[in-house]
Structure 1
Amino acid sequence: MSSFVVGHLYATTKPQRIGENQAFTGIWKDSIEVADLDEQGIKGDIQVDRRVHGGTEKALHQYAIPSYAQLHAAFPELAARMPIGSMGENLTVLGMHEGNVHIGDIYRMGSALVQVSQPRNPCWKINSKFDDERLAKFIATQHINGWYYRVLEAGSVQVGDSMDLMERFNPISLRNFLEVYAEHRPNFLILRSLARCQGLTPSWQVKIQQRMEVLQRL
């Protein structure tokens, strides 16, 4: 089984305002060394808009370190303002990315047990934070979304802890998952295999089922 190392941990302690409507957001996070986890994520982390962030199915957000290099290359004028940790994630882990992480993967992270639940949908707040309307679309089309975890067992984790893959149920990587879902007319059988991924968040199962129904009517 694969083993990785926790590189960074982040939490929001004070929400800030963003956008034309000056809505509160938790996308700006502070670096921390130790985190206590429960089913809602990092204790003390403020998740402002819980319609789209937080809750048991999106308790923790991870963004891949290599994705920053891709963003810096595509948007060099933003690179200095876009260090690791600026995508609103709770953690980065050395060596993990969409190509080697699968829906449903279970990891032992410090003393906590977590499971990959769904990809992240990049939203307007990323564009607004960096004042560039191209960012969210680029992230989505390049399939460098990042992903969420549910917490199966509460525990604590600190920077430098190992993150060990305990179980893998599905053969499809997150990148493959996102590529198939983004196709204009994906293969029906492959799309069905996405919906059946063990550990996938129910709301995503519904989204995929709806696409399957559309394909059947074509």
Structure 2
Amino acid sequence: MSEELPTIELRHVLAGTSRPFTRPGSFTGIDKVPLPGPVEVGTLGIMGDEQGDRRIHGGPDKAIHHYPFEHYHAWKRLIGEHPRLAQPGAFGENLSTVGVDETQVCLGDIFRCGSVLLEVSQTRQPCWKLNDRFEVSDMAWRMQASAMTGWYYRVLESGVLQAGDPIVLQDRPIPRWPLRKVIALLYERSLDFDELSQFAQLPLVPSWRALVERRLATGQIENWARRVLGPPSGE
């Protein structure tokens, strides 16, 4: 199974603590730093890693965020030599790799890294905190449009991993749904009812199932403004 993907090299394992952020009452754990040596991983992710708002970040279905380091080069072309892009962790990722991206990974893929077993649960839906972190007013929109979102894992087997460990594909139960196709359905072909109906047959996380069922029932796309722009002034 592993020959279907190139070698995936885990360059950095990162974690961060929750801190007050830019807007009144907001907190974030987006500022991740590399961790040396073996790192323990449980069902909620890397031990010691924190999220600022657990209503929308973290939890079993978003235990670990994976972001390809190759995307940093693309971002430098899009927004210039931004200081945030000088090292991994700019996007709040937990795993920084080379060798794979959203075109090669499928929803539901199962990977072994160290003694940890991981399942691809969903792609990232970028939010306004990226705008403030990069001081680029439409950074979240840009990530959404670029399809360079990275993806989340749920942890099927807890264990230990560390930088330098290979990430090896163990199983691919949904080969017809690479993440790039998922992202296109979410944001580009948003009312493709045939694809939405097919997507609804997959083992989706609850929020995605609700999204798909709502689109199929109403023929309308959900409003993304609050997610990508943040709460209105005064809230």
Structure 2 unaligned spans of 5+: 221-235
SS in 1 for 2:31: coil
Aligned to 2:125: 121
For residues 165 and 186 of structure 2, the distance between their equivalents in structure 1, rounded to whole angstroms, comes to 33
Identity %: 37
Residue pairs, 1:33-44, within 5 angstroms? 33=36, 34-44=38-48
Classify 1:28/1:44 alpha carbon distance in 2 versus 1 (closer, same or farther; 3 Å): same
Classify 1:193/1:184 alpha carbon distance in 2 versus 1 (closer, same or farther; 3 Å): closer
Q: What is the root-mean-square deviation of aligned Cα atoms in Å?
A: 1.7
1:181·1:191 contact (CA, 8 Å) conserved in 2? no
Aligned to 2:31: 28
1:137 and 2:141 equivalent?
yes
For residues 42 and 103 of structure 2, the distance between their equivalents in structure 1, rounded to whole angstroms, comes to 27
For residues 69 and 196 of structure 2, the distance between their equivalents in structure 1, rounded to whole angstroms, comes to 28
1:119-168 Cα distance to aligned partner (Å, 9 max, x none)? 11111111111111121100001111111110000010011111111111
Aligned to 1:193: 198
For residues 106 and 211 of structure 1, the distance between their equivalents in structure 2, rounded to whole angstroms, comes to 28
1:97-126 Cα distance to aligned partner (Å, 9 max, x none)? 111111100001110101000111111111
SS in 2 for 1:181: helix
Query: Shift of the alpha carbon at 1:197?
Result: 2.6
For residues 48 and 57 of structure 2, the distance between their equivalents in structure 1, rounded to whole angstroms, comes to 15
The total of aligned residue pairs comes to: 213
For residues 106 and 10 of structure 1, the distance between their equivalents in structure 2, rounded to whole angstroms, comes to 21
Query: Shift of the alpha carbon at 1:69?
Result: 1.4
Classify 1:66/1:196 alpha carbon distance in 2 versus 1 (closer, same or farther; 3 Å): farther
Residue pairs, 1:58-137, within 5 angstroms? 58-78=62-82, 80-82=83-85, 83-137=87-141
For residues 40 and 187 of structure 1, the distance between their equivalents in structure 2, rounded to whole angstroms, comes to 34
1:16 and 2:37 equivalent?
no
TM-score normalised by the chain length of structure 2: 0.85
1:27-86 Cα distance to aligned partner (Å, 9 max, x none)? 0011113321110101111122101111111100111222211111010052x3223221
TM-score normalised by the chain length of structure 1: 0.91
Deviates more, 1:35-44 or 1:174-183: 174-183
Structure 1 unaligned spans of 5+: none
Structure 1 residue ranges, 4+ long, deviating more than 6 angstroms after superposition? none
